[in-house]
Amino acid sequence: MMPTTSTRRGKTLLMVASSGCAWRPRIVGIALLFLAMFALAPVAVAGTSPQAGPETFDVYRPGVYSEQATWTWCTAASVQIMRNILFAETDHSSAHQQQFFDYMRASNRYQLANHRGVDPQGFLAGLRHFVSPDYALVASPTFDAAVRSAVTELRLTGKPVVLIVAAGRHAWVLTGSTTTADPALTTDFRVVSVRIVGPLYGRQSINGYDSPPDTSISYATLRRFLLPYRFPFSGTPWTGRYLTFQGIRPTAAAGVVPLAL
């Protein structure tokens, strides 16, 4: 599919109907995303009720975490974690991670011999196939726009969000946030902190990649990790944007128009 743009709450976002993501730990090889396969039937995730004051919301629960089985399968493990959250599963199978990864790699926009991971197009294909067809790749022009939109859609849909960190070399799952007001009620809020799940935990914990599951980090700290996307092998439609994969409500996707590349 072609990338699209959508204007929401005064901010213009690039919503790409193709996706894929990858990261490599600082010391070890590229850690990319891939998932396992099951029958899909998304279920609602419980959260806190809307309120006028500060809001803390988190869809994480014990038992959903999966460590990536190889250095390059952060995308696959992210899909597995998201399925565990949404479908009340506790799947940690490396065989399923390989299924997810193979599907996404085959869906990559860039089929290059020296690219061993999953790109944004391939990742989006995997999320839509294995997690929910409602997922979209949102390529935001600024850090603030990316975080605010991610937190808002997480709160409104109950679906975990993927953050593409380390400039495109790794993926985290955003499961919660603390804000000064409830994003379900108002756009007048400030993000205080977010809760993240990084699939490298257990394999590597260096310089923040990755902390224990459901770690809370401040908005300011997140700036160290959520960086503009770069692809080392060529220019892309997503280069220079802050990439997140969000479960999008139908009203949020209304009015989308094609974007010429």
Structure confidence by residue, pLDDT tens digits, 165-208: 999 999 999 999 999 999 999 999 999 999 999 999 999 999 99
Distance between CA 257 and CA 2 in Å, rounded? 10
- Strand bridging mode 257-258 / 3-8: antiparallel
pLDDT tens digits along 63-91? 999 999 999 999 999 999 999 999 999 99
Decide: helix, strand or coil at residue 126.
helix
Question: Along the 261 residues of the chain, how does pLDDT read in single tens digits?
Answer: 333 333 343 333 333 333 333 333 333 333 333 333 222 333 333 444 445 678 999 999 999 999 999 999 999 999 999 999 999 999 999 999 999 999 999 999 988 767 788 999 999 999 999 999 999 999 999 999 999 999 999 999 999 999 999 999 999 999 999 999 999 999 999 999 999 999 999 999 999 999 999 999 999 999 999 999 999 888 899 999 999 999 988 766 544 333 322
From the list 38, 16, 44, 35, the residue with the least C-alpha distance to 173 is: 35
pLDDT of the residue at 116: 82
